[in-house]
Homo-oligomer: A and B are copies of this chain.
Amino acid sequence: MDTLALRNYARPAEWDGAPLVDTDVHLNLDSLSTLFPYLELRWRDYIVESGMGGLASDLYPANVPNLYLEGSRPEKGPAGSNLDLLRSQLLDPWKLQYAVLNCTYGVDSVHNDDLAAALARAINRWQLEEWLQQDSRLRGSAVLPLQNPHMAAAEVEWASQFSEFVQVTVPSRSREPLGRRGFWPIYRAAQAAGLVVGIQAGGISGNPLTPVGWPTYFIEDYVDVPLAFQAQLLSLVAEGVFVEFPELKVATIEGGFAWLPPLMWRFDKDWKGLRREVPWVSRPPSEVIRDHVRMTIQPLDDPETPEFLVDVIDQLLCDEMLMFSTDYPHAHFDEPVESMPRGLSAELQSKIMAGNALATYRFK
């Protein structure tokens, strides 16, 4: 989490010549007015007249000095809001084949379904026209109005028309567990279009951040991030999402992965005793997870002993799950070579760098 001097922020020399896909790059809005060209007059008026200031969340406290890479804030607007900077700081020096953009602007904090849908559509059109269509290396994640699964499914269908979109995203901290049947129209539409459902760390659900209520400190909020992901994977598998949608792929974004092997062990063991309750889960949950879940690697939950992370990756029993990410413009590593777990085989490193993402997303 130390501040990075950008002169060092580039693809490590050791990786030269190898394909590299960054599966988590952030796109930020300068302000709500950025979306005005993409909003109907009705909603522009609504935003102006209500004095709505913006939907940027404080999930990451914005002024923490080591939150963003040094030099990643443009003269005007937040880090991640300037295409030229994105090119000069990430796409070019890291020699990316593709970068998958994510926009975490807080559409999920809106209680009005119609407004949420209008904002999501505006963000997606803005993303398409001002980012994705401006650089052939960029691919997008369509934001969904999860408040209303039918409107969200319609947005998936809209996004599916554009090859620039490869994913749709929902927040990890959702109002209900994501496996619940009410969400299934989203998954039906995503499967039909070959779009990945990305679960992005964050969200403003109204639920306490932990099963034991609200924590006191930001460090608890931040270290607790994997809890919601654990509950989401349980829900998706237990409800039978991947039985109903056997081609669906889910990507966890910024959720870590070191917690997954113990969760799979526990889930498999308990499934043996309790499977009668979920008879559609007809094979061990770990197999379902390995077939359907992909995970971006940053932030890495690095142990002081790097071999321990290699042990964890071995315990996944699957080389297809992890996908390289920088989480640009967030700062997660001191030296670029530390962006990858150390000590992996060349074959596995190559899969993480690009192969797994190329097999997961509908890049064309």
Cβ-neighbour of A211 out of B180, B208, B302 (below 8 A):
B208
Binds B, one of A34-42, A115-123, A128-136, A308-316: A308-316
**A29 interface residue per 8 A CB criterion:** no
Partner pick for A216 among B173, B238, B256, B299, CB 8 A cutoff:
B238
A207 adjacent to chain B (CB < 8 Å): yes
Contacts of A263 in B (CB 8 A): 223, 259
A210-B177, A227-B231, A232-B212 known; A256+B262 contact, CB < 8 A: yes
CB neighbours (8 Å) of A140 from chain B are none
Expressed in whole angstroms, the Cα–Cα distance for A231 and B217 within the complex equals 12
Residue of B nearest to A172 (CB): B212
Q: Is A319 an interface residue (CB 8 A)?
A: no
- A1 and B227 in contact (CB under 8 A), knowing A177-B216, A232-B212? no
Instruction: State whether the Cβ of A209 lies closer than 8 Å to any Cβ in chain B.
Output: yes
- Residues of the B chain whose Cβ atoms lie less than 8 Å from the Cβ of A261: 258, 303, 308
In the assembled complex, A158 has its CB within 8 A of some CB on chain B = no
Rounded to whole angstroms, the CA-CA distance of A4 and B329 in the bound complex is 55
Whether A283 sits at the interface, judged by CB under 8 Å, is no
B315 touches A177 (CB 8 A): no
Minimum CB–CB distance from A266 to chain B (whole Å) comes to 4
Complex CA distance for A275 and B1, rounded to whole angstroms = 12
- Provide the A253-288 mask, 1 if CB < 8 A to any CB of B, else 0: 000101101111111111111110110000000000
Within 8 A of B (CB), among A163-209: 172-180, 205, 207-209
Q: Check A235 for interface membership: any CB of B closer than 8 A.
A: yes
A262 contacts which of B180, B259, B267 (Cβ < 8 Å)?
B259
Contact across chains for B266 and A262 when beta carbons are under 8 A apart: no
Contacts of A211 in B (CB 8 A): 173, 205, 207-211, 224, 227-228, 231
CA distance in complex: A224, B173 (Å): 15
Partner of A265, one of B224, B264, B267, B302: B302
Query: Which B residues lie within 8 Å of A84 (CB)?
Result: none
- Cα of A214 to Cα of B228 in the assembled complex, Å: 12
Contacts A212-B173, A270-B223, A273-B2 given; indicate if A217 touches B230 (C-beta within 8 A).
no
> CA–CA, A305 to B311, complex, Å?
13
- Shortest CB-to-CB span from A212 to chain B, Å, is 5
B262 and A216: CB pair below 8 A? Answer: no
Q: Is A215 an interface residue (CB 8 A)?
A: yes
Minimum C-beta distance from A187 to chain B (A): 16
Contact A213–B219 (Cβ < 8 Å): no
- Can you list 24 A-B pairs, Cβ within 8 angstroms, ordered by A? A1-B269, A1-B273, A175-B212, A207-B210, A208-B208, A210-B231, A212-B231, A212-B235, A215-B234, A215-B238, A216-B238, A217-B238, A219-B278, A223-B266, A227-B231, A259-B262, A261-B308, A265-B301, A265-B302, A268-B304, A269-B299, A269-B301, A305-B315, A308-B311
Q: Which residues of A are interface residues toward B (Cβ below 8 A)?
A: 1-2, 64, 66, 172-180, 205, 207-220, 222-224, 226-228, 230-232, 234-235, 238-239, 256, 258-259, 261-275, 277-278, 299, 301-305, 308, 311-312, 315, 317
